[in-house]
Amino acid sequence: MREIKTVGEMYSFSRRAKIHSKKIGLVPTMGALHEGHLSLVAEAKKRSDIVVVSIFVNPIQFGENEDFSRYPRDLKRDKKLLQSMGVDALFLPQSREMYPEGFETLVEVKGLSEKLCGRSRPGHFSGVTTVVIKLFNILSPDCAFFGEKDYQQQAVIKQMVKDLNLPVEIAALPTVREYDGLALSSRNSYLTPEERKKAAMLYQTLTLAQDEIKKGERDARKIVSRAQSLLFSEPSIRLDYLQLVDPQSLEEVKKVKGRVVIALAASIGKTRLIDNLTINAD
């Protein structure tokens, strides 16, 4: 596995691959890799000639008082995992090169970025889209792979790609979960053993809402109210939002019809977690 630390070297690597008609698959990450990330790598290997994984804890997607400084980092372990998966190149850009002195440009997807997590994390998604389009420009990937756990993120990136006519396919892959349903996340490492037990309630809340829909309930307010009651039974869990939204627009729905995303964000202790389920009510 080749390690690449500069934009210039990564640019040259990808251009040489293109000259030889190689299909590049990109898996953008912030490191602290888990089985969810590795499932993206496995799919990238199936669809690509060359797989590149980037590890970059992107400072501009973290808000004030968020967890940038303590975000989990374990590069040595990450490298071993990626080597075992047969990754072709690991891109490790430096913040000072990605955002040099005088950097003034942000890419923003209006509308989608302002809903759900966008309400409590203003500026987060412009940080995400800016770093992603920079990676796309540097690597020129044919396909980029994201997890559906971050449903809003992949929706925002798909919209950016569509709006800006970017020649890259966005592949969104299913959420990988632990034994009790908790969605895999690098931030799960923040949880104490007691908090980890309580975290399972997030998935239980989503499945409760899903079951209400399966039973025939179509009033979104009633579905949310019944599902929320489970989380409200645990005072240490602070709910940010629980909404039923349209899969494309992320607009909150009043009546469930067709495909709908049940989206949730909550904090347990100092750890904010997100999750979602998609169900077709028809």
Q: Is 245 found in the same domain as 128?
A: no
Which one of 20, 34, 37, 124 is the catalytic residue? 37
Q: Is 123 found in the same domain as 59?
A: yes
Number of domains in the chain: 2
What pLDDT shows up at residue 267?
97
Q: Is 162 found in the same domain as 206?
A: no
Residue 178: inside a domain: no
| Phi and psi angles of residue 247, each rounded to the nearest 5 degrees, phi first | -60, -30
Q: Judge whether 56 and 27 are in contact, CB under 8 Å.
A: no
Look at residues 118, 149, 173 and tell me which one is the last residue of a structural domain. 173
Look at residues 173, 197, 227 and tell me which one is the last residue of a structural domain. 173
Cα distance between residue 20 and residue 37, in whole Å: 28
Q: Is 262 found in the same domain as 155?
A: no
Sheet with strand 50-55: strands edge to edge: 2-4, 89-91, 50-55, 24-29, 143-147, 169-173
Q: Judge whether 254 and 221 are in contact, CB under 8 Å.
A: yes
Q: Is 16 found in the same domain as 89?
A: yes
DSSP annotation of 48 reads -
Residue 35: inside a domain: yes
Q: Is 199 found in the same domain as 165?
A: no
Amino acid at 275: D
Integer angstrom CA distances of residue 108 from 26, 133, 156, 169: 21, 11, 9, 19
Q: Is 197 found in the same domain as 111?
A: no
Q: Which residues are 277's β-sheet partners?
A: 262
Q: Is 155 found in the same domain as 23?
A: yes
Q: Is 209 found in the same domain as 149?
A: no
End-to-end C-alpha distance for the chain, whole angstroms: 46
Two structure tokens written together for 247 = 């899969």
Q: Is 225 found in the same domain as 258?
A: yes
Q: Is 197 found in the same domain as 68?
A: no
Q: For position 165, which CATH number holds?
A: 3.40.50.620
pLDDT tens digits along 34-74: 999 999 999 999 999 999 999 999 999 999 989 999 999 99
Domain range for 31 is: 2-173
Spans of the chain below 50 pLDDT: none
Reply yes or no on whether 124 is catalytic.
Answer: no
Q: Which residues are 41's β-sheet partners?
A: none
Residue 243: inside a domain: yes
What pLDDT shows up at residue 77?
98
Nearest in space to 171 (alpha carbons), one of 88, 279, 87, 48: 48
Q: Judge whether 28 and 54 are in contact, CB under 8 Å.
A: yes
- Give the three-class secondary structure for 142: coil
Q: Is 25 found in the same domain as 141?
A: yes
274, burial (CB in 10 Å: exposed 0-12, middle 13-18, buried 19+): buried
pLDDT tens digits along 211-253: 999 999 999 999 999 999 999 999 999 999 999 999 999 999 9
Residue 276: inside a domain: yes
